[in-house]
Amino acid sequence: MTDKNDSKMGISRRTALKGLAATTAMTAMPFSIARAQSDVTLRWWSPQAAPAQVEAYELQIANFEAATGIRVEFETTSDEGYAPQLAAAFSSGEVPDIVTHLPSFAVQSYYANDLLVPFNDVIEAIGTNDYFPGANNVYRAADGNYCGTGIGNSAANMLWLRKDLMEEAGIDSAPETWDELRAAVSAMQTGGLFGAPLPYGRNSMTSLIFIGFIHQAGGQVFSPDLEVAIDNEGTRNALEFYREMREFCPPGATNYSWGESLTAFVSGATATGIYTGRVLANVNNQNPGIADSVTCVRYPRISTDVAPWTFNDFPSVFIPAQSQNIDAAKQFAAFLFDPEGYIKQLHAAPGHVLPVLQSINNDPMYQDNDIIQKYAPEVELMAESAAGGFNLGYESAEHASNEKAGEIIGSNVISDLVQKVVLNGDNVDTALSDASMAIEAIVNG
């Protein structure tokens, strides 16, 4: 890969991203694209489709169409439903040309099954050295290529707190350990106010959040060399603590996924939350009465001897190999990082998806946002936490990239484990043995 200021086939990053309107720049792109291809229409899929985000996408599409003559149609998928939707698309061959905002572990799984094209040249066009250090490590596949890149970072398991409720309950500082968290939510849970909105449903949020609890107890799902290792003391302690927290969660938490958990905290139904920075925009728009009291910290762990573990799903950009418009899709993928449109996309939910490019993070236009300025310490903490974050596809810096992670999450093996032990009271030894065998079957399948 080349430095962001080096030329490749006669084009610099500045030319690639900011000079796309010029015909000479378009013909110099490292992808074989000619301008004004009126017969090309790209299909763009994303599960992130809140109104403000769609407005940002429309700007990006309009700017790209004006620069290239290539049409783009945006289509919505869902956080819980993208796997079957993409499976059907891959099976039929009717694939989108570009997909964004899916977690990195899903991208690794698709690439391992020869369903995606390598992304190396797109990363070069964006500017390799402009990324935060290590930002693309999670996308390095077993063959040495990159299977995609991040459209942002996310700190998806921050602990959200209400300073006003903490003060009323006599809590002087944010909890750092599970014992402190349990004591805090117990003190704040009064009347119709619950302590926490943890998910217990059979879905990806429960699986992904609980993986964080395993690591916060010093455990792991896989060993660094990718041997199944979920049956460990950390997982057992995590299951016990998750069981203890159930009494502090609303009755409906049995079926909670991302939307329900977010709404519970934003609406004021729970004293704490667990989510990304989308909390900030939603609180200010939907419940401004608590906006001055909201803050966040890294999620507590079993003891301070265990390092914090932040879940970053590394929201992605990738291109299906069956696309009939791969060169145009690569050009659009690079264009998504053009500062005007990229910053507008990030500002659609400030703090929710954080920039992966250093130049964008330092851009005065990005910093010029009411929420980013109002919650500067929180946004900085989320950015720092996300940059050092992990997920099942990349459990630690010592772990190899796990191309089976997406299939494991999609199978609900881990959320099933939570439900069996925590909700149904099943024997933990049996449940962990069953989970281990199910994961082994996926790995060896």
In whole angstroms, give the CA distance from residue 40 to residue 66.
Answer: 14
Q: Are 195 and 180 a contacting pair, CB within 8 Å?
A: no
Q: Are 159 and 211 a contacting pair, CB within 8 Å?
A: no
What percentage of the chain has pLDDT greater than the value 70? 91
Helix, strand, coil tally for the chain in percent (to 5): 50, 10, 40
445: exposed, middle or buried (C-beta count within 10 Å: 0-12, 13-18, 19+)? exposed
What number is the average pLDDT over the span 41-69?
95
Q: Are 421 and 243 a contacting pair, CB within 8 Å?
A: yes
Output the six-digit token pair for 333: 């993928």
pLDDT tens readout for residues 411-435: 999 999 999 999 999 999 999 999 9
Q: Are 266 and 204 a contacting pair, CB within 8 Å?
A: no
- E-state strands within 24-91: 41-46, 71-76
pLDDT tens readout for residues 380-408: 999 999 989 999 999 999 998 899 999 99
Least Cα distance to 250 among 241, 235, 239, 261 occurs for 261
* pLDDT for the residue 78: 79
Residue that is written with structure tokens 């909201």 in the block: 294
In whole angstroms, give the CA distance from residue 424 to residue 314.
Answer: 33
Residues 6+ apart with CB under 8 A from 29: 9, 11, 16, 125, 331, 334
* pLDDT for the residue 376: 96
pLDDT tens readout for residues 9-34: 333 444 344 444 333 334 345 555 54
Query: Is pLDDT above 90 for 149?
Result: yes
Query: Is pLDDT above 60 for 217?
Result: yes
Q: Are 166 and 272 a contacting pair, CB within 8 Å?
A: no
* pLDDT for the residue 90: 96
pLDDT tens readout for residues 295-306: 999 999 999 999
What number is the average pLDDT over the span 342-367?
95
pLDDT tens readout for residues 41-54: 999 999 998 899 99
pTM: 0.87
pLDDT band at 5 (very low <50, low <70, confident <90, very high): very low
Would you kindly state where each structural domain of the chain is located, as residue ranges? 13-154+313-387, 158-309+412-444
What is the residue-averaged pLDDT of the chain?
A: 91
- E-state strands within 28-120: 41-46, 71-76, 98-100
pLDDT band at 189 (very low <50, low <70, confident <90, very high): very high
Least Cα distance to 139 among 410, 402, 342, 408 occurs for 402
∠ CA 408-245-404 to the nearest 5 degrees? Answer: 10
Indicate if 158-309+412-444 has the same CATH topology as 13-154+313-387. yes
In whole angstroms, give the CA distance from residue 378 to residue 376.
Answer: 6
Tell me which H or E stretch contains 414.
helix 413-418
Residues 6+ apart with CB under 8 A from 299: 157, 158, 159, 212, 216, 274, 308, 309, 310
Residue that is written with structure tokens 């992670």 in the block: 405
Q: Are 405 and 386 a contacting pair, CB within 8 Å?
A: no
What number is the average pLDDT over the span 170-194?
97
* pLDDT for the residue 83: 87
pLDDT band at 164 (very low <50, low <70, confident <90, very high): very high
Question: With respect to CATH, is domain 158-309+412-444 assigned 3.40.50.150?
Answer: no
* pLDDT for the residue 37: 54
Q: What is the CATH number of domain 13-154+313-387?
A: 3.40.190.10
**Residue 51 phi, psi (nearest 5):** -50, -45
80: exposed, middle or buried (C-beta count within 10 Å: 0-12, 13-18, 19+)? middle
* pLDDT for the residue 77: 87
Identify the residue with better confidence: 400 or 206.
206
